[in-house]
Structure formats: C-alpha cells, structure tokens
Amino acid sequence: MRKRKNKSGNSNLEGFMFALPWILGFLFFSIYPIFMSGFYSFTNFSAIKKPTWIGFSNYQSLFQDPLFYKSLSNTFRYVIYSIPLIIILSLFLASLLNLKIRFQSVFRSIFFLPAVIPAVASTMIWIWMLEPMGGFINRFLGLFGFPGMNWLGDPRYTMSSVVLITLWGVGTTVIIFLASMQDVPRELYESAEIDGAGKVSQFFYITIPSISHMILYQVILGIINGFQIFTQVYIMITSQSGVLKGSLGGGPQDSLLMYPLYLYQNAFALLRMGRAAAMAWILFLIVGFITFLLIKTTKRYIGIQ
C-alpha cells in the first residue's frame, strides 16, 4: 500500500515538474501583467518615470474624451456589422463544403488558405484591390456600370472596407462549423428525409440546433476578436499617409479609429501608460458583460446548464 502511495506521489511530482515551466510562464507573463495593469490604471505612468497614484483620474479623463467615445462607437459598429456576416457566410460555406462532391478536400483547402496568410500581407493585398484609381474592386464594379468608390478615403466606406477585409479570413470559422456539422448524427437527416423534409428545412431544424453551442462559441470568440481589431486599421491608416502617421491618426474623420488603436496611441505614441491601462480594463469589463449576457440569454436554447 505504501509503495503504491509512493509511486502515485512520485508520478504527481513528475507531472507537476513537467508543467512547472508553463505554470511559471502563465504567472509571470499573464497573471502578473493583468494585476499590474489594474494598478497602473490608477496611476500617472509614462514607462520612463515611476508611476504616481492619481486615483480615478484616468477613468474620469477618458469619460470626458470625445475620441474615447468615437473609438468605442467605431468598434461597436464594426462588431455589429462583421459578426453576423461572418457567422452567416461561414455557415453557408461550411454547408457547401459538407456536400459529397469531387475534389472536396481541394475546395476545403482553398477556403481555409486565406486564414493562414499573415494579417499584414492580406491587408496590403486588399489595400491594393481597394484603390480608388485602378483597383480591382472598382474595375469589377465598373463592368456593371457602377461608379468607383473611394473605399479608403471616404468615411462612408472605410468601415465597409474593414468588414470586407475581415470576411476574407473566415476560413477558421468555416472549418470549425464543418467539423461540427459532421458530428451531427446521420440518422436525424434520414428520418427527416423519410418525413419529406427538404434540405433547407433540415438545415434550419436539424443542423442549426445541433451546432448551436458551437455557433454561440464562435459569436463570443468573434466579439472578443472584434473588440481587439488593430492590425488591419493600423496598416490602412499607415498606407494612406505613406509614413508611420498611423500612430497618431484615425483615418478619414477618425472613421478608422478603433478602440485598440486609440489604446495603442495613448500607450506608445503619447506615453500615457496609465490611461491605456484604464482603457484596457474598460474593454475587459465591456467584453465580459457582453459575454455574460449572451450566455445568460441563450443557455436555455443550447442546453447549457
């Protein structure tokens, strides 16, 4: 009995030692920065001077800053526009890729390929395609008699450009939905076919309810990623100026000033680290509240206890 206990204890110790590097990395590179950012949010901290305690001054100044509300509004608009389109497009493509057709694996690889292209490279490609003079998108629209649009310079179209660039990388969501669809029991579809249900009815009454938990997961993940959008808008602003002015600008009439971009500007362009930390915690609370609200209101429909 003692030998068994000793062996069990040794196994636990060995497992702990193997996990120790990850545990230390998680504590020092994740938990510690989180708590320190909370502390810095109540200080005047510029990264080159010692932080001084100022209480809620950072939060008060943010709530009096028009650009704070502008960046928050732009980010909310982006999330509201992009998430439904991403989910609908991904479900549609996953349904097509789930069909029994020739070269199925080739088509799956083609649709997933954009997701592995680096964000900087794909954004530069889209900037070239969205050029008002000679860009592929305007030339394509011109074939049908539509006038060309200043996608990157007109504040009416800049948000549409960001959403379009985002839709380019839905491959990961498509693959996840496809895997979920393949786990739906085939017997359900066979029973529906016997009862005379068509493909559309099967999709809405069998497929969607069966993968609803995965749809909710992708919606939450999309919201989290949407509120952190940075690379695409930074590259778009920088490409228009020709120099690294993206660190101090928000695009035409600040229409591209997303919340993470404004946070970056406060932290690294203006060296207001304390203010940026306060923005990070406000973002955390917003995303946390939205996630809680989604789970609370949808759990009865997807079987979450």
Q: Per-residue pLDDT tens for 41-87? A: 999 998 888 899 999 999 999 999 999 999 999 999 999 999 999 99
In terms of domains, do 26 and 126 share one? no
Q: Is 183 helix (H, G, I), strand (E, B) or coil?
A: coil
pLDDT at 95 over 80: yes
pLDDT of residue 165: 92
In terms of domains, do 143 and 27 share one? no
- Model confidence band, residue 177 (pLDDT cutoffs 50, 70, 90): very high
Nearest residue to 137 (alpha-carbon basis) of 159, 164, 155? 164
pLDDT of residue 144: 87
Residues near 217 by beta carbon (within 8 Å), at least 6 away in sequence: none
In terms of domains, do 226 and 277 share one? yes
Residue 52, domain member (yes or no): no
What DSSP character marks residue 196? Answer: T
Sign of the alpha-carbon dihedral angle for 194, 195, 200, 204: negative
Q: What is the spatial distance between Cα 136 and Cα 132, in angstroms, rounded to a whole number?
A: 9
In terms of domains, do 154 and 264 share one? yes
In terms of domains, do 27 and 104 share one? no
Please state the domain count of the chain. 2
Q: Is 149 helix (H, G, I), strand (E, B) or coil?
A: coil
Lowest mean pLDDT across 33-42, 49-58, 84-93, 236-245: 236-245
Nearest residue to 153 (alpha-carbon basis) of 260, 264, 258, 256? 256
In angstroms, what is the C-alpha Rg of the chain? 24
Q: What is the spatial distance between Cα 168 and Cα 294, in angstroms, rounded to a whole number?
A: 26
Residue 48, domain member (yes or no): no
In terms of domains, do 152 and 212 share one? yes
In terms of domains, do 181 and 81 share one? yes
In terms of domains, do 36 and 63 share one? no
Residue 53, domain member (yes or no): no
For residue 32, what are the domain limits?
2-40
